[in-house]
Structure 1
């Protein structure tokens, strides 16, 4: 089993150091807030018996527990980058949630890539569409808020015994995720307070533990890893 990024004690200590402003005895409404944008990963799909509502085991809520934040999970199953971009441009619920957030996470694009990967290949043009949409999403977020933004890259959703696993590793490590990292770095220079959470590296070859079998979604353990790297990323921003 892969060693976890941090122990419960270290999480608590980091939360006290970096998120002290979020802790208050006045109750839930006095906490700082996290707005989570994304698809079914953010939603916590298949973590519960039914998928009628976002799961409290999804990474935004786990991250919120670490940092004592109120969480608004706006993950929507099946959404692509274009869906989220449209919502941020036109949907007042999404715009207001971003505008009032103290922290924001963004995990979107997996459905775009899975659709493109239906023929076991992803072309540079298909990747560029995803990157351009993510760029526009982040810029739209920055128009609405100056809150710190954590952008997740893509983990490999295929199990090791799946022939698609090796192909996915090559595509993600050589074509997709390096460009996500470059995009985040560039936008951080341009707009500030934007940081990458490296899901690909943390999931490594641990799909058996972190991804449901015959599925692409994270298990509870996988969601914890996403929460931990998101927390670490936000802590890094707060510590700058």
Structure 2
């Protein structure tokens, strides 16, 4: 009886072990062959994908390209908020745990910001309330504020990544008002402020690669084109074609990650 009892206990133990100990060789193989990448997108209405009813904006298009080109399973977290300025994004990166934890977990981070900074200053210039003897003080202030915020945004993103390999991608700003401002004789005043802003973005460093969206939409600064084919009905946000162009510009930068020491990023 004792022997039979021991055999029963042994059989029960084997059954329990089979049920409790996981068998995951197939799952491990899937994970190895199809790594998972977390992609976090930061920005304003461009990143949000406003008016791109077909594919949801450049963020989702780029995420699909990332998955196709790398063979990875991409987990996308889109934290873009319509209407946001550089001050809004910087504040979120400093104070929101959703933003901080998402960026900290991301292998790929993209961001677009600054368009609303200049848009608000342009509106004040047109209204004649920009300030200064030349009615351009708010434009100068907008560029200065953006420059300070931009450096701080990049530092926060790099610090949150903690020196881990990361694909850092951003983009410069296109100009949707070429035709309107040229017709009213103000393009020569307003476009240089956009160029100053883009010069700041294009000189970022810290392992960040910048998609040349202005060049794709507008061409040169000396003879800028009106990007009518890339704009939605509001004359400001990209349409589906425009979002596809932005995603393509990001894709052209490749997916090589950068390893940036946070303390060395000015």
2:109 to 104, 108, 119: 104
Unpaired segments ≥5 residues, structure 1 = 1-23, 49-54
Please, what is the CA RMSD of the aligned residues?
2.5
CA-CA distance at 1:31 after TM superposition = 2.5
5 Å-filtered alignment, 1:145-156, equals 145=161, 146=164, 147-156=166-175
Equivalent position of 1:220 in the other structure: 240
Secondary structure, aligned partner of 2:236: coil
Q: If the length of structure 2 is used for normalisation, what is the TM-score? A: 0.68
Equivalent position of 1:132 in the other structure: 148
Q: Which has the larger radius of gyration?
A: 2
CA separation of 1:213/1:56 partners in 2, compared to 1, >3 Å: closer, same or farther? closer
8 Å contact kept, 1:150–1:234: no
Q: If the length of structure 1 is used for normalisation, what is the TM-score? A: 0.74
- The one-character-per-residue Cα deviations of 1:119-166 (angstroms, maximum 9, x if unpaired) are 145633320101111111110011111422112111012253554783
8 Å contact kept, 2:169–2:250: yes
Q: Paired residues, what number? A: 200
Equivalent position of 1:19 in the other structure: none
- CA distance, structure 2, for counterparts of residue 236 and residue 207 of structure 1: 30
Equivalent position of 2:228 in the other structure: 208
8 Å contact kept, 1:35–1:72: yes
- The one-character-per-residue Cα deviations of 1:1-52 (angstroms, maximum 9, x if unpaired) are xxxxxxxxxxxxxxxxxxxxxxx9559x94312111000010011223xxxx
Deviating above 6 A after TM superposition, structure 1's stretches of 4 or more consecutive aligned residues are none
Unpaired segments ≥5 residues, structure 2 = 1-28, 68-73, 127-135, 219-224, 259-266
